[in-house]
């Protein structure tokens, strides 16, 4: 893959690609034009064809030919790669020749689907009709039927060898010999995010046959933690709506499609995994967890909320009446309950804190949420989370930021490599006058713990320019590397950097107060101690003592 990316990068001319969007004029070794990412009258957008990068000195947009296309067209990395490969005449299909295992799985899915309309498959078809699943959905999801026998001989006739049939889990070793794993079951082919069949789910058609559901065994292609049922079929809607609804099972996905809600999929287990959320995050900003309102459903929702937050997808929770799911409600003709439940979805904090029955629990759950908020890199999203948590918990945003600063401090103690938060803010200020002024106004060099950050801020105060400081700085290379990699200053980001500086200021100012509080509570977790302290104060104010 890396090889392919390099080949494509070398084969396309960044000037050609960017030139389609921006009129570029040569200036020295670089080319200059009006930035396509912000409105400007004098050109500050530069392309360096030798390095294969672009940079805008106005808004800070920078990157390579892939990021340019991704940003300007709003497409994924893979899509950008495909377009550029096509442009360069590199055949991606040839690069990633379909593996025989995937061909076998695809062939098997087609075979199962055809069996649905054979005499053996009649009961499966009858079952689908009973659950009110129309032909259009059967065909969209390629639902099938695995006959009691015959799948293996069909595949062998098609030229697939025995070992491959075992490897893909179609045949399984029972200890007493090999058997077809999914015989006499209704089949849901499971595809990855690109629509390739990677495994199967099989539902028994006879209530006496246990277990009710069997999945293909885990393999190199079929990793349950990385697959979302129905994602491929809902992908377009998920991308258009920038939101996704998570349901629990195969039939729930179908039921949602049947009421016209297509931005939906199901994890291959009870709760969302990090890998699954990572996939969702490429297409969606919000995730709605539409689960059964029983205890198991609530637990799954709590786990999923945290995973979604940590991956930067804003979670909402919508719990159905106990014991119900979208499929059961659809069958009863009560899909309006599903739609109402979704309409009344609670944000993560509302849902989470409603579960607290005591102040201790509220402290614990608030801390859990803050732990997830701390992991988020996107400052805009982080602020949104803080605002939401503040309004739900009644704890002031400032106080929540204090707690986050405490987490950050803990984290920095552990982490020795890379730049500290203080240094990252100072580096950013090297590249932007506005940020630099803001930083100098708000932070006193003496308050900084990071020696590098302290000395740079001191030099600013002495009137040195960024160039002077940078040119002579012993860590110049690392600083520029960091800036090239991470600093992307548009108005939105600037605003958030300022709020980070304010956070730092508040933290420094309150450090002394914290120290006093913590002296009394040495044994206790200091963050929990601080949160209880805030909540206690609130209670007292409320009671008026």
The residue ranges that bind Zn ion (CB under 5 A) are 35, 37-38, 56, 58-59, 61
* Residue 40 Cβ vs Zn ion, minimum distance, rounded to whole Å: 6
Is 146 or 487 the residue whose CB approaches Zn ion more closely? 487
If residue 338 lies in a helix (H) or strand (E), which one and from where to where? Answer: helix 335-343
Cβ proximity to Zn ion, 43 vs 267, nearer residue: 43
**Whether the Cβ atoms of residue 377 and residue 411 lie closer than 8 Å to each other:** no
| Minimum CB–partner distance for residue 58 and Zn ion (Å) | 4
Output the smallest distance, CB 48 to Zn ion, in A. Answer: 15
Q: Which residues are within 8 A (CB) of 114 and not within 5 positions of it... i.e. 6 or more apart?
A: 144
Q: Cβ contacts of residue 221 below 8 Å, gap of 6+? A: 101, 102, 105, 168, 192, 198, 199
Nearer to Zn ion, 37 or 530 (CB): 37
Closest CA to 305 of 425, 241, 392: 392
**Residue 57 or 178: which CB sits closer to Zn ion?**
57
CA dihedral sign of residues 91, 94, 95, 96: positive
Q: How far is the CB of 246 from Zn ion (least distance, A)?
A: 37
Closer CB to Zn ion, 68 or 232, in the complex = 68
Q: How far is the CB of 487 from Zn ion (least distance, A)?
A: 13
Element holding 289 (H helix, E strand): strand 286-292
Long-range contacts of the stretch 335-341 (C-beta < 8 A, 24+): 335/255, 335/258, 335/259, 338/255, 338/256, 338/259, 338/290, 339/259, 339/261, 341/290
Smallest distance from Zn ion to CB 76, Å: 22
CB of 19 to Zn ion, least distance (A): 16
Contact 266, 272 (CB under 8 A): no
Q: Decide whether 35 or 535 has the Cβ nearer to Zn ion.
A: 35
Neighbours of 479 (CB within 10 A): 21
Nearer to Zn ion, 67 or 270 (CB): 67
Question: Which strands, in side-by-side order, build the sheet including 197-204?
Answer: 144-146, 185-191, 197-204, 213-215
Nearest approach, Cβ of residue 433 and Zn ion (Å): 16
Closer residue to Zn ion, CB minimum distance, 69 or 279: 69
Q: Measuring CA to CA, which residue among 119, 188, 105 is closest to residue 147? A: 119
Q: Cα separation of 222 and 220, whole Å?
A: 6
Neighbours of 461 (CB within 10 A): 11
């Amino acid at each position: 893959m890396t090889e392919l990316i390099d080949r494509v990068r070398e084969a396309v001319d960044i000037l050609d690609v960017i030139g389609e969007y921006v009129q570029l004029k040569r200036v020295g070794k670089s080319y200059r034009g009006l930035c396509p990412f912000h409105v400007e009258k004098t050109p500050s957008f530069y392309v360096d064809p030798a390095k294969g990068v672009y940079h805008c000195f106005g808004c800070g947009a920078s990157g390579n030919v892939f990021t340019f296309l991704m940003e300007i067209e709003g497409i994924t990395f893979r899509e950008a790669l495909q377009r550029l490969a096509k442009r360069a005449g590199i055949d991606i299909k040839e690069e990633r020749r379909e593996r025989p295992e995937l061909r076998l799985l695809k062939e098997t899915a087609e075979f199962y689907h055809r069996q649905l309309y054979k005499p053996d498959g009649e009961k499966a078809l009858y079952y689908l009709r009973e659950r009110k699943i129309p032909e259009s959905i059967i065909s969209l999801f390629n639902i099938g039927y695995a006959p009691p026998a015959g799948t293996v001989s069909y595949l062998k006739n098609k030229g697939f060898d025995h070992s491959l049939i075992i490897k893909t889990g179609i045949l399984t070793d029972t200890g007493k010999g090999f058997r077809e794993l999914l015989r006499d079951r209704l089949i849901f082919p499971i595809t990855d995010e690109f629509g390739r069949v990677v495994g199967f789910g099989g539902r028994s058609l006879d209530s006496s046959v246990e277990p009710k559901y069997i999945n293909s065994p885990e393999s190199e292609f079929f990793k349950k933690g990385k697959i979302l049922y129905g994602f491929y079929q809902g992908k377009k809607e998920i991308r258009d709506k920038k939101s996704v609804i998570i349901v629990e099972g195969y039939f729930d996905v179908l039921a949602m499609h049947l009421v016209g809600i297509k931005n939906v999929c199901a994890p291959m287990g009870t709760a969302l995994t990090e890998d699954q959320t990572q996939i969702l995050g490429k297409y969606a900003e919000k995730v709605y967890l539409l689960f059964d309102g029983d205890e198991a459903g609530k637990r799954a929702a709590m786990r999923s909320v945290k995973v979604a937050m940590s991956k930067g997808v804003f979670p909402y929770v919508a719990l159905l009446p106990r014991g119900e799911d979208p499929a059961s409600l659809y069958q009863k003709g009560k899909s309006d309950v599903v739609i109402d439940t979704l309409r009344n979805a609670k944000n993560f904090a509302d849902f989470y804190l409603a579960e607290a029955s005591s102040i201790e629990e509220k402290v614990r759950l608030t801390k859990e949420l803050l732990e997830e908020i701390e992991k988020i890199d996107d400052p805009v999203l982080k602020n949104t989370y803080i605002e939401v948590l503040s309004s739900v918990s009644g704890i002031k945003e400032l106080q929540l930021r204090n707690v986050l600063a405490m987490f950050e401090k803990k984290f920095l103690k552990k982490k020795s490599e890379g730049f500290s938060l203080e240094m990252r803010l100072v580096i950013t200020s090297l590249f932007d006058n506005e940020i630099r002024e803001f930083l100098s106004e708000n932070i006193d060099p003496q308050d900084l713990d990071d020696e590098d950050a302290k000395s740079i801020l001191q030099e600013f105060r002495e009137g040195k320019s960024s160039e002077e400081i940078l040119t002579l700085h012993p860590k110049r290379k690392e600083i520029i590397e960091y800036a090239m990699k991470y600093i992307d200053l548009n108005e939105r980001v600037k605003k958030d950097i300022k709020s980070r500086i304010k956070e730092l200021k508040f933290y420094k100012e309150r450090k002394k107060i914290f120290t006093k509080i913590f002296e009394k509570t040495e044994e206790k977790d200091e963050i929990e101690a601080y949160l209880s302290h805030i909540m206690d104060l609130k209670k007292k104010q409320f009671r008026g003592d």
